[in-house]
Structure 1
Amino acid sequence: MMDQKWNESDTEVFLRYGRVFVPERGELAKTFIDLIPANHDEDFVVVDIATGGGWLTETIASTFPKAHVIALDGSPEMLKYTKDRLEQYADRLEFRHFDLFDASWLNDLPNKVRCFVSSLAIHHITFQQKQDLFKKLYSNLHNNGALLIADIVKPVNEIGRRSMSRSWDDVTKKQSLNLEGNLQAYEYFLNTEWNLFEHPDDPVDKPSTLLEQLNALQQAGFSDIDAWWVKAGHALFGGYKYE
């Protein structure tokens, strides 16, 4: 991947192998649900930043029967695929094309959002852009709302990089066997140099350390900031808004 942004060839790969490449996606989905500040039967708005194949949007829509989810993505192909796949929730889902690098999409959101969620997207923008985005998301959140992010995090040293690289390889190999019944997905993962801890020079990836992002959330105004799940260089972290 040599472009500065995600492209449609990346989309095809991730739709095919995303459940293998993302560590413990089932557990990650459960943790997201645990952390969303809403009752099961409550009517509220969630924004999924870069919905991808829609696994997180689907998890939220199926768990909260009155939730309205605005699913954003920069890939027209991804949006069409996900909209068609989640047709059973069509009355509560809204799909919008957006550009992660241009925050003007925030201007078209409802007045207050209960929860912003994102999986494997924020690492595509610089740390300064992350800081700016966190502040804007905080301003658009409902009181008692939350920002929950699952993403790749930058290792703080070479020892950590080697460990993250080895762990991501291991979990991908295991999931390729368990979910696909063969090593085809794992071999593709290796051959395309998908493991950015082993191949860190792709300009599309701009991960920040977990500590940097937790501090940025605090500076943006968030409270109860934490990292609730960490695996193979990936983390689910975020914070809440109380006023």
Structure 2
Amino acid sequence: MRTDQVWQDRTLVNNFLTGVRGGIPFAIEQINMALNVLEQTGIPVHRVADLGCGDGAIAQAILHRYPNAEVTAIDFSQPMLDQAEHRLAPFGDRVRLLKADLYTADWHSELEPFDAIFSGYCIHHLPDDRKQALYREIYALLHPGGCFLNIEHVASATPWVEELFNDRLIDALYQWNLTQADPLSRAEVAKRYVHRDDKAANILAPVEQQCDWLRAIGFQHVDCYFKFLELAVFGGVKPNA
């Protein structure tokens, strides 16, 4: 049974965007690392897809870095797409918003190939077999030389490491929360934002295992380019024909 339908709830989406997203550790560094990996490929970047685009933060960074690029921002959550539409409005027709469900194999039926495909904190909501199928679909949708980059929540190696991550995440969210108009106590942050409803939608997989899946599909230069406990940037490049 699917658990990711919670992202259709506007209240939950708003709570995440206002209370969690801004406090994620190294969020800017993760996006910059993904963009730097794409730049390293040397491929001309004209068409980019952002899978599970959320409120459009990654798409916005791509459009700033590549002023001649167009981004197709994809999500199945209408509340998230509404937020993305607002954030990305200044980019005009360089942005296409598409409502599509990555849980299904036909999400890309209307799409042409891309030079790069990004995803941010989305694919971990899919079962592992669907993750692998999606990675194959992404590979097929890339131009030769194209790059796939996933900014993702991954599984800890042990429960001890998971507890370490949870503590560091609570610390980061609490420090960020102190900058807000009505700050909460650390205990309140832990209860409200770490032990929240959408955590049931997480189906985490180790980054090493996911990199192995990418290699088996045919991606080159596969690596975890950045990692802080359960936060990782990984991906690979489709070989030139």
Aligned to 1:100: 102
Per mean C-alpha deviation after superposition, the further-off stretch among 206-215 and 162-171 is: 162-171
Aligned to 1:212: 209
Aligned to 1:46: 48
Structure 1: tracts of 5 or more residues without a match: none
CA, structure 1 residues 163+43, in 2 after alignment: closer, same or farther (shift >3 Å)? closer
Q: In structure 1, how many angstroms separate the alpha carbons of the residues matched to 2:27 and 2:142? A: 26
Aligned to 2:62: 60
CA, structure 1 residues 95+74, in 2 after alignment: closer, same or farther (shift >3 Å)? same
Aligned to 2:238: 241
Q: Deviations over 1:93-151 (max 9, x none)?
A: 000101121121111111x2111101110100011111111111111111111110011
Aligned to 2:228: 231
Aligned to 1:146: 147
Compute the displacement of 1:194 (Å).
2.4
What do you get for the CA RMSD once the two structures are aligned?
A: 2.6
What letter corresponds to residue 152 of structure 2 in structure 1? Answer: D
Aligned to 2:12: 10
CA, structure 1 residues 42+216, in 2 after alignment: closer, same or farther (shift >3 Å)? closer
May I ask how many residue pairs the two structures share in their alignment?
237
**Does the 8 Å CA contact 1:123/1:152 hold for their aligned counterparts?**
yes
Compute the displacement of 1:186 (Å).
5.9
Percentage of pairs with the same residue: 23
CA, structure 1 residues 40+182, in 2 after alignment: closer, same or farther (shift >3 Å)? farther
SS in 2 for 1:173: helix
Aligned to 1:25: 27
Q: In structure 1, how many angstroms separate the alpha carbons of the residues matched to 2:213 and 2:195? A: 26
TM-score by length of 1: 0.87
Per mean C-alpha deviation after superposition, the further-off stretch among 202-211 and 17-26 is: 17-26
**Does the 8 Å CA contact 1:168/1:195 hold for their aligned counterparts?**
no
SS in 2 for 1:107: coil
Aligned to 1:35: 37
CA, structure 1 residues 39+115, in 2 after alignment: closer, same or farther (shift >3 Å)? same
CA, structure 1 residues 229+37, in 2 after alignment: closer, same or farther (shift >3 Å)? same
Q: In structure 1, how many angstroms separate the alpha carbons of the residues matched to 2:200 and 2:21? A: 24
Structure 2: tracts of 5 or more residues without a match: none
**Does the 8 Å CA contact 1:115/1:145 hold for their aligned counterparts?**
yes
TM-score by length of 2: 0.88
Q: In structure 1, how many angstroms separate the alpha carbons of the residues matched to 2:180 and 2:33? A: 24
Compute the displacement of 1:219 (Å).
1.1
Compute the displacement of 1:22 (Å).
2.0
Q: In structure 1, how many angstroms separate the alpha carbons of the residues matched to 2:43 and 2:154? A: 34
Q: In structure 2, how many angstroms separate the alpha carbons of the residues matched to 1:64 and 1:145? A: 15
Aligned to 1:135: 136
